[in-house]
Amino acid sequence: MPAKAFWLLPLTMMILVMGLFFLRSVNKSTSDNFATLPAPGPAPDGMAWIPGGWFIMGDANVQEADAPPHKVGVRGFWIDTHEVTNAEFAKFAAATKYITIAERTPTKEQFPDVPESKLVAFSAVFKTCVCDAKRCDADAENSANRPWWEAKFGAYWKQPEGPGSTIAGRENHPVVHIAWDDAIAYTKWVGKRLPTEAEWERAARGGLAEQPFTWGSTPQGADGRYFANTFQGEFPSHDNALDGFTATSPVGTFPANGYGLYDMSGNAWEWCHDWYQRDYYDSSGASKNPQGPETGDMLGYQPQKVRRGGSYLCSDDYCKRYVPGARDKNPTDSSACHTGFRCAKDAK
């Protein structure tokens, strides 16, 4: 065989293989380019379009579980512009006669170590207390053991502070004392779903890249300006309420982020679809439309789901988790005075 012919076959093969790789990369970059997709139609009532695209998810400066920041892509989707309110949840409860987890007597399976006589319906209510929060945090085996939490009989969404309290006058505040299972029941009723953790963070960042806050880089309180309902002062002993609120605030009180969403920082924590694993980001890497791990880290006997955004109890001196990259978690049946949700919806 002539020398030229001898090289012709492998050369042709090499060109073919390179061509295939080139075509594959062109297809990949086209299909990954979610960002150019416009809203598929008029926004459903009370929702905003979050354009798909790649973004840097996570935060290296708050907790280990939020790091490392990594590249994630999500498809475009709809999300509620505000947290689900008491008025909205009341319609659902009236129409379906739904009883929230906080109203139900817990079972022996949920709390195997609690005597049956002490199993009563309850929810977690915050109480001001004088203690060293960081020291308490280090000593507590789990979040329920921290002294600023009280397992309060009779506390639920209609009685946020327990028996005798009411949501009258707070119809436009986020509904709280909502367990993950309750949020799912509501989303099904309204024909929506919970956002994934990646969708939630994409939405919270409001189109800003790698900024510490949902509104940019200006700290809370700079020049007396407050961008979210959080906790000022010394946690958990004294809330100065320089932002105007010691508990929940009406949704939409603070400025919207770049996508027109309110309270993505603070006010009420918001449940997400995903199971929570503390080290999930170590293994998840760059991914498209991540749905979270197969199950969650355990708290006692139960795996935990993700919640996001922080609440009116987040403070700079103890828990700065009102930033868009910070994560939190709780079991699906746990509820508290600072936890609610908002809904998402697929583009159809």
Q: Please give the Cα distance from 275 to 340 (Å, whole number).
A: 17
- What is the secondary structure of 19-79 as a DSSP string? HHHHHHHHHHHHHH-GGGPPPSSSPPTTEEEE--EEEEE--SSS-GGG-S-EEEEE--EEE
Kindly give, in sequence order, each residue whose CB lies less than 8 Å from that of residue 128, ignoring residues fewer than 6 positions away: 148, 236, 237, 238, 239
**Residue 300 token pair:** 């006692």
Closer by beta carbon to Ca ion, 100 or else 267 = 267
Closer by beta carbon to Ca ion, 249 or else 304 = 249
Q: How far is the CB of 241 from Ca ion (least distance, A)?
A: 5
Q: How far is the CB of 268 from Ca ion (least distance, A)?
A: 5
Q: Is 126 in the site for Ca ion (CB under 5 A)?
A: no
Instruction: Choose which of 180, 245, 262, 281 interacts with Ca ion (CB under 5 A).
Output: 245
- What is the secondary structure of 114-174 as a DSSP string? S-GGG---EEEEE----S-HHHHHHH-SSGGGSTTEEEEET-BTTBTTSTT---TT-TTSB
**Residue 306 token pair:** 């993700």
**Residue 72 token pair:** 């994630």
Closer by beta carbon to Ca ion, 152 or else 308 = 308
Q: How far is the CB of 139 from Ca ion (least distance, A)?
A: 26
Instruction: Choose which of 220, 257, 267, 304 interacts with Ca ion (CB under 5 A).
Output: 267
Q: How far is the CB of 216 from Ca ion (least distance, A)?
A: 17
With CB under 5 A as the contact rule, which of the stretches 44-52, 58-66, 206-214, 229-237 interacts with Ca ion? Answer: 229-237
Q: How far is the CB of 87 from Ca ion (least distance, A)?
A: 17
Q: Is 312 in the site for Ca ion (CB under 5 A)?
A: yes
Q: Is 253 in the site for Ca ion (CB under 5 A)?
A: no
Three-state DSSP state, 324: coil
Q: Please give the Cα distance from 303 to 267 (Å, whole number).
A: 25
Query: Which of 204, 185, 216 lies closest to 261, judged by CA?
Result: 204
Q: How far is the CB of 260 from Ca ion (least distance, A)?
A: 15
Instruction: Choose which of 80, 103, 201, 243 interacts with Ca ion (CB under 5 A).
Output: 243
Q: Is 226 in the site for Ca ion (CB under 5 A)?
A: no
Closer by beta carbon to Ca ion, 73 or else 249 = 249
With CB under 5 A as the contact rule, which of the stretches 30-38, 39-47, 48-56, 311-319 interacts with Ca ion? Answer: 311-319
Closer by beta carbon to Ca ion, 122 or else 334 = 334
Closer by beta carbon to Ca ion, 245 or else 280 = 245
Q: Is 206 in the site for Ca ion (CB under 5 A)?
A: no
Helix, strand, coil shares, percent, the chain, to 5: 25, 20, 55
Other C-beta atoms closer than 10 Å to the C-beta of 50 total: 27
**Residue 154 token pair:** 């009779």
CB 55 within 8 A of CB 325: no
Closer by beta carbon to Ca ion, 167 or else 268 = 268
Closer by beta carbon to Ca ion, 103 or else 243 = 243
Residues in touch with Ca ion (CB under 5 A)? 229, 243, 245, 263, 267-268, 309, 312
